[in-house]
Amino acid sequence: NAGVTQTPKFQVLKTGQSMTLQCAQDMNHNSMYWYRQDPGMGLRLIYYSASEGTTDKGEVPNGYNVSRLNKREFSLRLESAAPSQTSVYFCASSEVMGGPSGTQYFGPGTRLLVL
């Protein structure tokens, strides 16, 4: 099992460019998440998908969109990148959202630099 995979591992963008971060999980999990992690701050939730076919905004959704393509895949899109979006992005999945079975499994992260 690969667990949670993310592509790309590293990306440099210019302000205004767009890109899509890809995430896939092979654990048959129902719930998937996108977080960003900035120095000195905890992980902040951007968007989540509690189950296939649903998506909801998290704490910091502005400037991002998501697509739950199928049960395995959850992508994050930056339509017009801004320097404030320079961060490390983590995708995570869990069997269900919350509760004792809601342990999240994280991908290796995507390091994004916006110039």
In the list 23, 87, 90, 112, the residue contacting other proteins (rule: CB under 8 A) is: 90
In the list 28, 42, 53, 62, the residue contacting other proteins (rule: CB under 8 A) is: 42
The verdict on 40 binding other proteins (CB under 8 A) reads yes
Task: Return the CA Rg of the chain.
Answer: 13
In the list 23, 24, 66, 97, the residue contacting other proteins (rule: CB under 8 A) is: 97
The verdict on 100 binding other proteins (CB under 8 A) reads yes
Long-range contacts of 39-47 (CB under 8 A, 24+ apart): 43/90, 46/76, 46/89, 47/76
Site residues (CB under 8 A) for other proteins? Answer: 4, 40-45, 90, 92, 96-100, 102-109
